[in-house]
Amino acid sequence: MNLPRIHLAILLLAATAHAQTLQPHPQQTPPTTPTKTFHDPTYKVSFDYPATWNFSTTDGDLSTFHLDARTAPRKAQLRVVTAMPENPYPASTFSGAYLYLSVTPNTSAAACAHQAAPLPGSTKKPAPKPTHTTINDIPFTHGHNETKAICITQRDEVYTTRHAGACYRVDLAINNFCGGSVSSVKYISSTELDQVRTHLESILNTIHFDPQ
């Protein structure tokens, strides 16, 4: 007479165990990269950058601003540069990635937008015209420059915006060297370039001005 109850208890235990195996595992939040914040108290602009990246407010410490930002006017003031700390593609011709923030005081809207125009002969003909984009409600003019020797040795994505009478400029510079025929390194691939550019753009996407 107790057999049905025993069978029922066994069935209930089995069903409970089966239900437990079907319970979804809680989703784990992917780890976030620690960041630091740069704030310019003079020009009231900020952005976040990876805490492991190199950082300087002095030209020449990490790189030379006007060698990478070739369309920047001489009176442009470098405010900060942050650089990728290590080469993620050591077997390639990649040699460095930098984000520069500079400001040119007392600049007209037309002159500010013109900073994003490519240098004559710096890109494939016809030279692409600058476009317009908005980042964090800030309207930017976006242009592209390339420096070519045997190969393309420097790429620069230029973003400019006029704010409070000054021209704010961000350069996303990617540098590489030309590998020879006997070199063991390979030219950096389009996929690798896109990955480096994505890192730089993720910093640019945090830029914002102080509240008025």
Q: How far apart are CA 74 and CA 115, in angstroms?
A: 11
- Residue 53 CB partners (closer than 8 Å, separation 6+): 82, 83, 84, 85
**DSSP assignment of 43-90:** TTEEEEEETTSEEESSTTSS--HHHH-TTS-TTPEEEEEEE-SS-S-T
Cβ pair 98, 199 in contact under 8 A? no
Task: Identify the CA nearest to 105 among candidates 160, 43, 40.
Answer: 43
How are the residues of the chain apportioned to helix, strand and coil, as percentages rounded to the nearest 5?
A: 20, 35, 45
Predicted confidence band at 186 (pLDDT cuts at 50, 70, 90)? confident
Q: Is the pLDDT of residue 1 over 70?
A: no
17-26 pLDDT per residue, tens:
444 444 444 4
Distances (CA, A) of 171 to 10, 81, 116, 153: 69, 9, 10, 16
Task: Identify the CA nearest to 111 among candidates 71, 70, 64, 68.
Answer: 71
112-133 pLDDT per residue, tens:
999 999 887 655 556 678 999 9
70-93 pLDDT per residue, tens:
999 999 999 999 999 999 999 899
Predicted confidence band at 42 (pLDDT cuts at 50, 70, 90)? very high
Tokens 């020879």 belong to: 180
Name the pTM for this structure: 0.82
Cβ pair 92, 192 in contact under 8 A? yes
Length of the chain: 212
Cβ pair 142, 132 in contact under 8 A? yes
Tokens 């242009």 belong to: 143
**Mean pLDDT computed over 10-33:** 49
**Among 69-78, 94-103, 181-190, which is the least confidently predicted range?**
181-190
Q: Report the pLDDT value the prediction gives residue 178, as an integer from 0 to 100.
A: 83
